[in-house]
Structure 1
Amino acid sequence: MSLGQKSYEALLEEIKELEKENQILKSTILSADIQQTKVSDLLQFTQYSIDTISDSILWIDENGKYVFVNNAACKNYGYSKEEFLSMQMLQVDPLFTKEIWDAHWQEILEKKTFTLETINKRKDGTPFPIEVTVNLVEYGGKKYNCAIIRDITEQKLNEAKLKQTATRLEEVIATKDKFFSIIAHDLRGPLGTHREFAKHLSERISDFSESEREINLQVLSESSENLYSLMENLLNWARNQSGYIQFLPIRIQMFVLIQSILELLELSIQKKQIQIQNQIPDNLEIIADQFMIETIFRNLLTNAIKYSFINQTITIGYEKIKKEGEIPTFTHRFFVKDEGVGMTKDQIQSLFRLDKKVSTLGTNSEKGTGLGLIVSKDFIEKHNGKLWVESEPKIGSTFFLELGQIAIE
């Protein structure tokens, strides 16, 4: 009886131990399941992260063959994963050859990680700049290049914009320097000379004969005219740069406008006995800003007179140029031609640049700043037109200007 009871109690005790072990086993299994779920979730999260980032991730073996690509690579390049995994990187990088890849692989083995820029092309053949971060990784006993690739098209565009901005800033600085140079030297010099001459004339006017007074007064008048022209060009240029000059097109009778300018320049024309041929049709009317057009032609004619010799001819002409297209249009083209000193190719290339001082003495040692042509070019561009010159040394110069399109009549 006692022995039987002990056997039963021992058996019961064993059952209890087994139940405990069973509970521990269940708990262990549950913990393992939870851990496996966490690992699975982490792997899914990692895969999701790799597939949803904007950068392309590509694994490449030592032969340049793709062995893994993420979704971003497919999206960025236009290939499916199946297409990618059947390709080599040489097929998307036009700068690589087999020999270059072999050298590149050796560089990867040596440096293990580095960054470079190159050009890749999409499935449709479109090239785009990329930044590649190279990473040497080992997996399953093999070595791979885990390349993280970023499209830097926008970055390159921004760099180009920065370069343009820097260039524009240099132009602005040159403009400012030229402005102060004109004020400090080119304007101050003539003003000082004019003042001294006027003072000298006023002190000795009674000592001069009638003819001498007339000559000196003519010189003083020309000096005043030159100063006024210089000051007007300077102010017009400064106002135009600041945006203070409004574009106000009206109907202009061009023959009458040219004649009025020639009357203002009559003294200089007579002094050199220059022949003027105004070939503008007397019935020609255009729509343009009168102030700007008058300034342009005054500058061109002043220069033509300045660089002409005695008894030469200046011609002002016009032609209507037909522009081909679906809708026939014409362009107003004018020209001012002289037979004077002319210009070299280097002078022509620097003619309309503010950062290049182009001012040659006239045939009677007349001075200038080159600012008049720059103002004229700015005003022509307000009319969506263009200004250019054809010239040869000792033969003369012809300035052409077009004022945009007009409808066919």
Structure 2
Amino acid sequence: MADLKRLEEENQMLRQTCDDTSSKHSNLIHALQFTQFSIDTISEAIVWLDEYGNYVFVNDAACKNYGYTKEELLSMKMFQVDPLFSVDRWNAHWQEILDRKSFTIETINKRKDGTPVPIEVTVNLVEYDGKQYNCAIIRDITEQKLSEDKLKQSAIRLAELNATKDKFFSIIAHDLRGPLGTQREFTKILSEKDSHFSETERVYYLKMLEESSDLVYSLLENLLDWARSQSGIISFQPIPILFYDLVQRVIGLLNLSANKKNVNISNQIPSKLQIVADLFMIETVVRNLISNAIKYSKPNHQVVIGIAEETQTHASPVVFFVKDEGVGMEKEQIENLFRLDKKKSTPGTEQESGTGLGLILCKEFLEKHNSAIWVESELHKGSTFFFTLGQNTIPL
């Protein structure tokens, strides 16, 4: 009886031990399943690499991010998805892993379809079953890089806007105050000492006043146009325009300035050529280009406005030009010609001053027509400004 009781107790203990082992095994399996589920459902890719760069473990996110199956990735080396790595670089990288144990790098990986993906990799040295591995956690940072690029572009744009604002205030403070001050002084002199002047002196002072008034008027006109353009007040309203007639009207407005220097303005636009453009904008472009051509022309020379020969056979877009035989420009001047933040006006052949704002307006107004402006120039020989009007010309 005693032996039977002892056997029953031992049997009970064995059953308890078996139940405990089974419970622990069940808990272990549950924990492993939970761990595997966690690894496979996180958004970051997790890969294990051996010392030769072979994939020995990949989670579901890695497969999804790279576009490969697990079987495909586990048969590959990391060099096949990272074009920036070579065998030599991997060897150096592996040595760095051994030395530093854990660190973060940025690189570019390539998906199965060839799409490049910027990634951040957290490197971790782990030892398992007597071997060393790189347990890498990989995060797609495409959105981060796009945000960084947007921030850089915003910073550049902000710098440009600040430069534009500074230039605008500089124009108002210096270029506008200068001629207005001159007008005030000459008016005061004429008012106080008119009876003491000879006819030659009176004519001289009146001429100076006239030139100062012309400059103020032109400057104000461009400042107002530019300010309206920047604020979006000017609406784009293209209509059919006989371009020859528009050019003639502008020439009529500028004849006084041209006659002072005995500069002849030749309108070589075909009389029947019709363009589709915003009247205000295109007239501003033509006025500024011809006005500049007169300003930088030498006395007794010619300014020509016409169509480039290669586009006269009804080709589209038509290229127009305004050509002078004046002072010309150096390479550095040409490069900064249409940049307000780099603007520095050059005096005309008779020391006429200006701000360079007119050319900025030309560029902006032509861009609203999906068109462009550029210049060819040779120092001391003259400049030719070219501009297109996109598809906005109607054949003769």
What is the TM-score when the length of structure 1 is the normalising length?
0.89
Asked whether the equivalents of residues 274 and 393 of structure 2 are also in contact (C-alpha less than 8 Å), the reply is: no
User: In structure 2, which of residues 240, 245, 257 is the aligned counterpart of residue 256 of structure 1?
Assistant: 245
Please, which of 93, 105, 121 is the counterpart of residue 132 of structure 1? 121
Q: Distance in 2 between matches of 1:407 and 1:222?
A: 37
Structure 1 partner of 2:263: 274
Identify the match of residue 346 of structure 1 among 332, 336, 360: 332
Q: Is the CA contact 2:275–2:394 (under 8 Å) kept in the aligned structure 1?
A: no
Q: Where in structure 2 are the equivalents of 1:161-240 lying within 5 Å?
A: 161-209=150-198, 212-240=201-229
**Mean CA deviation greater in 21-30 or 268-277:** 21-30
| CA-CA distance at 1:212 after TM superposition | 4.9
Any unmatched runs of 5+ in structure 1? 1-6
Matched, 1:336 2:325: no
Report how many aligned residue pairs link the two structures: 394
Q: Scaled by the length of structure 2, what TM-score is found?
A: 0.92
- 8 Å CA contact 2:58, 2:73 repeated in 1: yes
Preserved contact between residue 329 and residue 407 of structure 1 (Cα < 8 Å): no
Q: 2:278 is matched with which residue? A: 289
Match of 2:49 in 1: 60
More deviation, 251-260/352-361: 251-260
Secondary structure class of the residue paired with 2:340? coil
Aligned to 1:245, the other structure's residue is in SS state: coil
After superposition, the Cα gap between the structure-2 partners of 1:205 and 1:252, relative to the gap in structure 1 and judged at 3 Å, is farther
Q: Offset of 1:177 from its aligned partner?
A: 0.7
Residue number among 366, 376, 380 corresponding to 1:380 in the alignment: 366
State yes or no: 1:391 paired with 2:377: yes
Structure 1 residues 304-347: Cα deviation after superposition (integer angstroms, max 9, x where no partner): 11111110100011259769xxxx97223221100000001100
Is the 8 Å Cα contact of residues 131 and 152 (structure 1) preserved in structure 2?
Answer: yes
Could you say what secondary structure the match of 1:123 adopts?
coil
* Matching residue of 2:106: 117
In structure 2, distance between residues paired with 1:208 and 1:407: 56
Higher Cα Rg: structure 1 or 2?
1
Match of 1:369 among 349, 352, 355: 355
5 Å-filtered alignment, 1:48-87, equals: 48-87=37-76
Contact 1:78/1:123, CA 8 A, preserved across alignment: yes
After TM superposition, give the deviation of residue 406 of structure 1 in Å.
3.5
Q: 2: CA distance between counterparts of 1:26 and 1:408?
A: 100
Please identify, of 115-124 and 269-278, the stretch whose mean Cα deviation from structure 2 is larger: 115-124
1:153 paired to 2:142:
yes
Match of 1:405 in 2: 391
Which string of whole-angstrom CA distances, capped at 9 and with x for unpartnered residues, describes residues 223-281 of structure 1?
21211110111111112111111112222222222222222212211111011111112
Deviations 1:368-387 (A, max 9, x none): 11111111111111111111
Distance in 2 of aligned mates of 1:174 and 1:217: 37
Evaluate the alpha carbon distance shift between residue 222 and residue 259 of structure 1 in structure 2; reply closer, same or farther with a 3 A threshold: farther
Equivalents in 2 of 1:103, 1:249: separation in Å?
64
Quick one: distance in 2 between partners of 1:206 and 1:365? 30
What CA distance in whole angstroms lies between the structure 1 residues aligned with 2:173 and 2:240?
39
**Alpha-carbon distance in structure 1 between the residues aligned to 2:310 and 2:271:** 18
Is the partner of 1:234 in helix, strand or coil? Answer: helix
Kept in 2: contact 1:57–1:147 (CA 8 A): yes
The reply on whether 1:97 has 2:68 as its aligned counterpart is: no
Q: Output the amino acid matched with 1:107.
A: E
Aligned 8 A contact 2:273 2:394 in 1: no
Alpha carbons 1:335, 1:398 under 8 Å: kept: yes
Partner Cα separation in structure 2 for residue 21 and residue 193 of structure 1: 119
- The one-letter code of the counterpart of 1:303 is N
The answer to whether residue 131 in structure 2 is matched with residue 142 in structure 1 is yes
1:359 paired residue number: 345
Structure 2 letter corresponding to 1:96: F
Structure 1 residue 125: Cα displacement: 2.9
Query: What amino acid is the match of 1:349?
Result: E
Q: Distance in 1 between matches of 2:346 and 2:111?
A: 56
C-alpha separation in 2, matches of 1:407 and 1:362: 33
Q: Higher mean Cα deviation, 74-83 or 351-360?
A: 74-83
Counterpart residue type for residue 290 of structure 1: L
User: Distance between the aligned counterparts of 1:127 and 1:94, measured in 2?
Assistant: 9
The amino acid of 2:132's aligned partner reads K
Distance 1:94 1:200, change over 3 A: same
Alpha-carbon separation, structure 2, partners of 1:40 and 1:94: 39
Output the CA distance in 2 between the equivalents of 1:176 and 1:27.
Answer: 85
Q: Over aligned residue pairs, what C-alpha RMSD do you find?
A: 2.4
What residue identity is the alignment partner of 2:147? N
Classify 1:204/1:301 alpha carbon distance in 2 versus 1 (closer, same or farther; 3 Å): farther
Give the superposition deviation at 1:211: 5.7
Instruction: Kindly state the Cα deviation for residue 288 of structure 1 after the two structures are TM-superposed.
Output: 1.1
1:330 aligned counterpart, secondary structure: coil
Distance 1:322 1:282, change over 3 A: closer
Q: How far is the alpha carbon of 1:218 from its aligned partner?
A: 3.6
Amino acid at match of 2:160: E
| Larger CA deviation: 237-246 vs 86-95 | 86-95
Question: Using the alignment, how far apart are the partners of 1:201 and 1:293 within structure 2?
Answer: 40
Greater alpha carbon shift after TM alignment, 394-403 vs 255-264: 255-264
- Asked if structure 2 preserves the Cα contact closer than 8 Å seen for 1:320 and 1:331, the reply is no
